[in-house]
């Protein structure tokens, strides 16, 4: 088993990653708060992901907070750094408890987020650093400006944005930022970011869908997804959802996350699931 069949994508045309990656949010505690119940299993998940060919891991300083980045360092950092694995992280969201999130986009805070992530991950440069949310209380030009400073200073290789609209991506690019990725909620049952995905595809920007395996009502018995599953014995709804994302656009980089090795292996198997044109069309029309 390997995710290699998912293909590759070059972020900003130069940083190549395997398209089916791993989202490291779920290796934390309930509510994305505190440590996981079994830290050793979380470390096994991360190492197994790499064994299966995953070379793109997405995390954030807010996951835990700090817990996800710490576990990634423990699991994967060695004498040669991350040895071919691209670890992307995010900053700009604060935590007030389980499932509680609040954006803070003051430039000095974003700089602190980055510096602390560099320390926890053991990096001199983050390959891809994403603004977790734009803070509406801070002029967005100030937030874009400090991201450009990170790149100019060599602290960040590439930058991305999370949960944004097309106008915000355009504003960031007009401010002098090269946007390598956009991370928005997008899946079979929630395609509210369709215009963002289409813009990213037209501009060659990587699109990282979060909550990629949600299927909602499409997973109900007798529905389109159920019919697809009958044609692929042994496949799961999550695998179909991931396979559909991989077919949806060549710029899509799904990052399914889990705290279980068994679930990880099942998710990675989606790279081998081949949907027919008719199945893809039916899912898109549902």
Does this model's pTM top 0.75?
yes
pLDDT values of the chain reduced to their tens digit, one per residue, 286 residues: 799 999 999 999 999 999 999 999 999 999 999 999 999 999 999 999 999 999 999 999 999 999 999 999 999 999 899 999 999 999 999 999 999 999 999 999 999 999 999 999 999 999 999 999 999 999 999 999 999 999 999 999 999 999 999 999 999 999 999 999 999 999 998 999 999 999 999 999 999 999 998 766 766 777 788 889 888 999 999 999 999 999 999 999 999 999 999 999 999 999 999 999 999 999 988 7
Known catalytic membership, residue 109? no
Domain 3-216+244-260, second-level architecture: Alpha-Beta Barrel (3.20)
Burial class (CB in 10 A: 0-12, 13-18, 19+), 253: buried
Query: H-helix or E-strand containing 48?
Result: helix 39-51
Annotated active-site residue in 63, 82, 109, 199: 63
- DSSP three-state, residue 102: strand
The alpha-carbon radius of gyration of the chain (Å, integer) is 18
Where are the chain's structural domains? 3-216+244-260
Nearest to 241 by CA among 280, 278, 198: 280
């Amino acid at each position: 088993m390997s995710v290699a069949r998912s293909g590759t994508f070059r972020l900003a045309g130069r940083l190549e990653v395997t398209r089916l990656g791993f989202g490291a949010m779920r290796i934390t505690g309930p509510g994305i708060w505190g440590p996981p119940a079994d830290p050793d299993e979380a470390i096994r998940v991360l190492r197994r992901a790499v064994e299966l060919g995953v070379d793109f891991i997405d995390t954030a300083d807010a996951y835990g907070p700090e817990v996800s980045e710490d576990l990634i360092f423990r699991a994967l950092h060695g004498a040669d750094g991350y040895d071919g694995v691209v670890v992307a992280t995010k900053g700009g969201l604060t935590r007030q408890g389980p499932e509680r999130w609040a954006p803070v986009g003051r430039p000095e805070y974003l700089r602190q987020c980055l510096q602390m992530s560099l320390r926890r991950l053991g990096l001199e440069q983050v390959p891809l650093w994403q603004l977790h949310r734009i803070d509406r209380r801070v002029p967005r030009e100030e937030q874009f400006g400090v991201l450009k400073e990170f790149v100019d200073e060599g602290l960040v290789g590439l930058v991305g944005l999370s949960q944004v609209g097309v106008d915000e991506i355009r504003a960031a690019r007009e401010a002098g930022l090269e946007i390598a990725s956009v991370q928005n909620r997008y899946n079979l049952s929630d395609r509210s970011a369709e215009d963002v995905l289409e813009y990213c595809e037209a501009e060659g920007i990587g699109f990282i869908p979060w909550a990629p395996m949600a299927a909602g009502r499409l997973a109900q018995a007798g529905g389109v997804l159920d019919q697809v599953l009958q044609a692929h014995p042994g496949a799961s709804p999550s695998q179909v959802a991931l396979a559909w994302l991989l077919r949806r656009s060549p710029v899509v980089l799904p990052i399914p996350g889990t705290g279980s090795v068994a679930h990880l292996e099942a998710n990675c198997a989606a790279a081998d699931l081949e949907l027919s044109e008719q199945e893809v069309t039916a899912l898109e029309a549902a």
